[in-house]
Amino acid sequence: MSVGQDLKFEYNHGMTHDWNFDKWYRWNCRERRSYNLEIYTETEALFVFNELFPKPNLKTIENTGVIYDR
């Protein structure tokens, strides 16, 4: 692992869901390669990511003050 790479993925609520997916996918591919596991296709990865981190529902976050993609 090189300097500057996160040891674990943390969802950044200040960024969009798509931005977080992109970061998680790159992180997940790197981790899976390090364990000689098959890399997810982007479609497979999106399914897994949405199971782990459902896209925020605006009705449940309307009073948080955090802006999510709409």
Domain ranges in the chain?
17-61
The pTM score is 0.72
DSSP 19-66: HHHHHHHHHHHHHHHHTTPPPPPHHHHHHHHHHHSPPPPHHHHTTS--
pLDDT digits (tens, 9 = 90+) for 42-64: 999 999 999 999 987 665 555 55
pLDDT digits (tens, 9 = 90+) for 3-13: 456 778 999 99
